[in-house]
Amino acid sequence: MLARVRISVPDRPGSLGSVTTTIGHTGADIVKLDVLENEAGRALDDVFVDVRDPAHLAVVRTRLEALHGVTVSGVQHPAPPITGHADLELLDQVLSWPERGLQTLVDGAPHAFGADWSALVEYAASGEVTGVPAVSVGSPGPGHVVVRSPLRLAPLRMTAPGETEPYGGTALVPIGTGPFALVLVRTGGPEFHRSELWRLGQVGQIVGTALTPVSHD
């Protein structure tokens, strides 16, 4: 089972080595490591690990949290694809069948961008969300899409009706200049990093430009 563990480590020699050694001692295999940012003496990394099951992943997290100076800011399983081309493959599918492009985007976005589910929301000229035209497989339903933010690329704190805690990570991605936006949800996190948001924004612009005649028919 592939999982993503987002960690913050001190930016000094040996820090990452202790992380990789600790993961190795648990019996997990490191498949890939992405450096998200390096600021103020700390580095934020996504470590993709191959583990046997959720219990094994819990052991990996516990061992990492025991390391001095290491903070685990989020864990996600199953992890998103690590080929680096999943978003391009999704764009190809969207643009190949523009008549159903938005539904294809909603269906494929969770796999391509490491989310648990997604939804399409529609905004009115007044800036309020007026409907949820589509949701992906795995979504708990349109009623769980509660968006009160303006139409702009941003992370959200979205809480389902009847719940007290927000989803672990939610992103709002405009599709072109509107009126549609894609909502991506990670039920347990991690939050969407600014580098992920930037890439999502590029995809939203491309889809919006290509589907403008279709979206507004």
* pLDDT per residue as tens digits for the range 72-125: 988 988 776 665 678 888 999 999 998 899 999 999 999 888 899 999 999 999
pLDDT score, position 78: 76
Q: Quick one: three-class SS letters along 5-30?
A: EEEEEECCCCHHHHHHHHHHHCCCEE
Taking the C-alpha atoms of residue 45 and residue 68, their distance in angstroms, rounded to an integer, is 16
- Determine how many CB atoms are found less than 10 A away from the CB of residue 42: 15
207: CB partners within 8 A, 6+ apart: 91, 94, 95, 101, 102, 105, 175, 176
Tell me the pTM.
0.81
| Average pLDDT of the chain to the nearest whole number | 90
List the structure tokens of 157: 């704190």
For the domain spanning 86-215, the CATH number is 3.30.450.40
Mapped onto helix, strand or coil, the DSSP state of residue 208 is helix
CA Rg value for the chain: 18
User: DSSP secondary-structure letter at 142?
Assistant: G
Architecture of the domain spanning 2-76: 2-Layer Sandwich (3.30)
In the chain, the percentage of residues whose pLDDT exceeds 70 is 95
CATH 3.30.450.40 boundaries in the chain: 86-215
Taking the C-alpha atoms of residue 26 and residue 133, their distance in angstroms, rounded to an integer, is 45
